[in-house]
A and B are shown apart, each in its own frame.
Chain A
Amino acid sequence: MAVTAVLTWQLAVNSALTWKQFGWSFLWSSTWDPVREVYGALPFIYGTAVSSGLALLLAVPIGVGCAIFLVELAPKRVAEICAFIIELLAAVPSVILGLMGIFVLVPVVRAVEPGLTAGLGWLPLFQGEPYGVGMLTAGLILSLMVLPYITVISREVLLAVPRSLKEAMLALGATRWETVMKVSLPYARPGIAGAVFLALGRALGETMAVTMVIGNTPQIKASLLAPGYSMASVIANELAEASSDEHLHSLIAIGLVLLGISLVVNAAARAMIGLLERRA
């Protein structure tokens, strides 16, 4: 608590210039021009939100699916080995994942993107040049990064579902699928929700891997193929060379916004888990 308070205080003090100059409009203006000292955080907030959202969209179904497979279907030995490998994946440093993103994922995405544009180009989501780097790649790398969290925690909570409940369901003639859907998942829901929020927290703050593949362009484009920018990335990129006070304060202001969003996400997670537990 105290640390968070001190952090917030420090960030607020060191971004005072920005708040004084731009006020709340800092949050929804979209120009970022260090030459003319005009700063707006919207493209970065948008980039962080979209890349993290995309990551969860991909990682939650796969992660929970993996967990179900490991708990309900896989032979015990296989499950244990798989779980161990997935836990190892969580320990891969993000800069390594970023490098993998640049050397493996980006060329693959660049090769796949023309197909996406040809097939789904009528959707604004899949229009534009196939650069390889961009929002889609950032979402993919983030989903890879948060997948182990979701899988490992979901597996733990699914393992904790009382055997008696499942056996009772099976004894009533339910299929395995019905047992998972009607007993295991509802029982494990608060834990899985916790895993998702933990993953979201990680995705929001992820810096290195995202910086390496997102394209670092402060713009808001509907297309997932277009390059974007995230809050953590712009701080990492520009802080070292920010020589004017206004620039420095604006970067710290973005840090404050990021901290605020993380706190809100955390609080929301608490509230939601509390709600789910009461219902369960």
Chain B
Amino acid sequence: MRNIFKAVVVVALAAHPAAAGVSTLNGAGATFPYPIYSKWFDDYNKVKPDLQINYQSIGSGGGIRQITARTVDFGATDAPMTDKQLFKVDGKLLHLPTVLGGVVPVYNLPGNGDLKFTGEILAGIFMGKIMRWNDPALQKENPDAKLPDMPITVVHRSDGSGTTYCFVDYLSKVSKEWDKKVGRAASVNWLTGLGAKGNEGVAGLVIQTPNSIGYVELVYAKQNNISYGAVKNASGKFVKAGVESIAAAAAGLKMPADFRVSITDSPNPGAYPISTYTWLLVYQKNPGEKGAVLREFLSWMLEEGQKRAAELGFSPLPADVKAMVAKAVQTVQ
């Protein structure tokens, strides 16, 4: 019996050559960057076959809770942690930006191509103040569009989400009334509309419902082939979301040392205004060898990983931010 047990142990050890060091890293958090993260972890496993990185896309809130409780090695979030949340963290937790994404207004208005929206119009629609498609405000920005005299069906996320956070963060910046009545969070108290679960739920309901409008992450709008509108940015230009215009939102902005920054309503002329960073949450001090392994992965992510972002619809980090993050990564132990 004992021999069998020994044999099993030997076989198990042989199957895991890295058993002496770190063989797995566990992470949890945001769903929004999940497509790119799973690709990174997969590709990195090819570079370092001994290391397996597991990632559960359970949502930013769950990621923050788990990394705070140290039940995972890294977390991921689409909205920077609040001071109140950071207060509960024991030790120094770093926010490391990884890629950028954008949220687009999608609509189902047969016979119409690209529509133009301003922040005020979007806030008005999602607050239930602009209730019909032929509203004068919409007509003013879209003189050539065929806007029907029909009620607007608003579709928003029912589940808490980083996509919602980015969208309402933008609306809070451009509309005082929105800020006062609704505010910003991963789930908010919507004043109007239907709730659908997930980006795919919102996309699905918008496709099905004539005269509806919703918001989804750019990747989903492209995948589902739904029309999405251009949004007027802070310098007065109408910009459609794309890998370049989202990257432009981040370029040259002042980055605080802790990387907790919102880039919605960016002042850059070419910027798409509803853009956001997404972050990995990593402790500066990690037990045993884990810090070194994390550092190595993060350095790979900044070089090799960034090159893979655009093909999945995410924008890579601007060069100056990348340099700052690289410096921060070196402090991980």
Residues of A participating in the B interface, judged by any CB pair closer than 8 Å = 31-36, 102, 106-107, 110, 129, 131-133, 211-212, 215-218, 227, 229, 233, 236-244, 247
Check if A33 sits within 8 Å of B188, measured CB to CB: yes
A96 to B187, CA, bound (A): 26
Contacting B209 at CB < 8 Å: which of A132, A216, A240?
A: A132
Contacting A227 at CB < 8 Å: which of B85, B187, B195?
A: B195
Check if A238 sits within 8 Å of B188, measured CB to CB: no
A102 to B203, CA, bound (A): 12
List, sorted by A's number, 15 A–B pairs whose CB atoms are closer than 8 Å: A33-B189, A34-B186, A35-B184, A36-B183, A36-B189, A102-B205, A131-B194, A131-B209, A216-B194, A227-B195, A237-B158, A240-B159, A241-B187, A243-B81, A244-B84
Check if A132 sits within 8 Å of B195, measured CB to CB: no
Q: Mark B183-217, 1 if CB is under 8 A from A, else 0.
A: 11111111001111100010011001100000000
For residue B65, CB closer than 8 A to chain A, the reply is: yes
For residue B60, CB closer than 8 A to chain A, the reply is: yes
Contacting B197 at CB < 8 Å: which of A131, A237, A239, A244?
A: A237
A238 to B195, CA, bound (A): 12
Q: Mark B147-186, 1 if CB is under 8 A from A, else 0.
A: 0000101000011111000000000000000000011111
Contact A35/B197 with A216-B158, A237-B160, A238-B160 known, Cβ cut-off 8 Å: no
Check if B186 sits within 8 Å of A32, measured CB to CB: no
A-contacting residues, B35-73, CB 8 Å? 58-62, 64-65
A132 to B194, CA, bound (A): 10
Contact A131/B153 with A107-B208, A243-B65 known, Cβ cut-off 8 Å: yes
Contacting A240 at CB < 8 Å: which of B81, B85, B160?
A: B160
A215 to B65, CA, bound (A): 28
Question: For chains A and B in complex, what number of residue pairs have CB atoms within 8 angstroms?
Answer: 94
Check if A35 sits within 8 Å of B160, measured CB to CB: no
A210 to B49, CA, bound (A): 43
Check if B186 sits within 8 Å of A243, measured CB to CB: yes
Q: Which of A106, A218, A243 has the most CB of B within 10 A?
A: A243
Contacting A132 at CB < 8 Å: which of B59, B162, B185, B208?
A: B208
Check if B183 sits within 8 Å of A217, measured CB to CB: no
Check if A216 sits within 8 Å of B183, measured CB to CB: no
Contact A241/B59 with A35-B184, A216-B195, A217-B193 known, Cβ cut-off 8 Å: yes
Query: What residues of chain A lie closer than 8 Å to B197, measured between beta carbons?
Result: 211-212, 216, 237
Tell me the minimal C-beta distance from A221 to chain B in angstroms.
12
Check if A242 sits within 8 Å of B189, measured CB to CB: no
Q: In chain A, what residue has the closest Cβ to B31?
A: A240
Query: What residues of chain B lie closer than 8 Å to A35, measured between beta carbons?
Result: 182-185, 188-189
- Which 9 A-B pairs give the minimum distances between C-beta atoms? A241-B160, A216-B195, A240-B59, A216-B158, A35-B183, A33-B189, A243-B61, A241-B61, A237-B159
Check if B183 sits within 8 Å of A227, measured CB to CB: no
Tell me the minimal C-beta distance from B181 to chain A in angstroms.
10
Contacting B158 at CB < 8 Å: which of A211, A239, A243, A247?
A: A211
Query: What residues of chain B lie closer than 8 Å to A236, measured between beta carbons?
Result: 159
Check if B204 sits within 8 Å of A102, measured CB to CB: yes
Query: What residues of chain B lie closer than 8 Å to A33, measured between beta carbons?
Result: 188-189
Check if B160 sits within 8 Å of A216, measured CB to CB: no
Tell me the minimal C-beta distance from B131 to chain A in angstroms.
10
Query: What residues of chain A lie closer than 8 Å to B184, measured between beta carbons?
Result: 35
Tell me the minimal C-beta distance from B161 to chain A in angstroms.
6
Check if A241 sits within 8 Å of B62, measured CB to CB: yes
Query: What residues of chain B lie closer than 8 Å to A217, measured between beta carbons?
Result: 190, 193-195
Tell me the minimal C-beta distance from A108 to chain B in angstroms.
12
Query: What residues of chain B lie closer than 8 Å to A132, measured between beta carbons?
Result: 208-209
Tell me the minimal C-beta distance from B242 to chain A in angstroms.
27
A242 to B79, CA, bound (A): 12
Contact A215/B194 with A102-B204, A238-B160 known, Cβ cut-off 8 Å: yes
Query: What residues of chain B lie closer than 8 Å to A212, measured between beta carbons?
Result: 197, 201
Query: What residues of chain A lie closer than 8 Å to B204, measured between beta carbons?
Result: 102
Contacting B208 at CB < 8 Å: which of A32, A106, A211, A227?
A: A106
Tell me the minimal C-beta distance from A133 to chain B in angstroms.
6
Q: In chain B, what residue has the closest Cβ to A36?
A: B183
Query: What residues of chain B lie closer than 8 Å to A107, measured between beta carbons?
Result: 208
Check if A240 sits within 8 Å of B58, measured CB to CB: yes
Query: What residues of chain B lie closer than 8 Å to A131, measured between beta carbons?
Result: 153, 194, 209
A244 to B61, CA, bound (A): 8
Check if B59 sits within 8 Å of A32, measured CB to CB: no
A107 to B210, CA, bound (A): 11
A257 to B184, CA, bound (A): 28
Contacting A129 at CB < 8 Å: which of B85, B151, B160, B189?
A: B151
Query: What residues of chain A lie closer than 8 Å to B186, measured between beta carbons?
Result: 34, 241, 243
Query: What residues of chain A lie closer than 8 Å to B84, measured between beta carbons?
Result: 244
Q: In chain A, what residue has the closest Cβ to B68?
A: A243
Check if B189 sits within 8 Å of A216, measured CB to CB: no
A98 to B184, CA, bound (A): 30
A41 to B186, CA, bound (A): 19
Contact A133/B194 with A34-B187, A35-B183, A238-B160 known, Cβ cut-off 8 Å: yes
Contact A34/B185 with A238-B160, A241-B60, A243-B65 known, Cβ cut-off 8 Å: yes
A216 to B82, CA, bound (A): 27
A102 to B208, CA, bound (A): 9
